[in-house]
Amino acid sequence: MVIYLKAGGELRAKLQPDVDDCTRRVETEAGVSLRDILAGIGINPAFVAFALKGGDVKRLDYVPAEGDVITLQPPVSGG
């Protein structure tokens, strides 16, 4: 199945977008968690704090469905 991952800021370079300047098309098997998908495309999950699908936060144990568009959000630690 195919999903689309988006990222902004410093995560964008790690994502290596190929659809537009912030989106990457990823082919994956069904039933695989976002954490494992990220690891499979060479993104260390420690660089992703959480993800967004629509208006909801998704954790890295989320299992995407066909056609999902998921935005990756980086850890933010400064104050």
Partner 1 sequence: MGRERESERYSRQILVPGWNQEKLKRATALIVGLGGLGSASALYLAGAGIGRLRLCDCDKVERSDLNRQVLYEESSIGSFKVEEAGRRLAALNPLVELEKLNVFLDSHTVGELVKGCQVILDGLDNLESRFILNQESFKKRIPYIYGAVHGWLGYAGFFHPPQTGCLACLMQPGLSQPEPVPVFGTVPGMIGLVQATEAIKWIQGIAPSLLGRLLIYDGLHLTFDLVNVDKNPACPLCSKK
Distance of closest approach, residue 46 Cβ to partner 1, in angstroms: 4
Backbone angles phi, psi at 70, to 5 degrees: -125, 130
Strands 23-27 and 2-7: antiparallel
DSSP 20: B
Nearer to partner 1, 1 or 50 (CB): 50
When asked if residue 8 is in the footprint of partner 1 (CB under 8 A), the reply is: yes
* Cβ atoms of residues 32 and 59 within 8 Å: no
When asked if residue 30 is in the footprint of partner 1 (CB under 8 A), the reply is: no
Positions touching partner 1 (CB under 8 A) are 8-10, 44, 46-47, 49-50, 52, 55-57, 59-61, 73-79
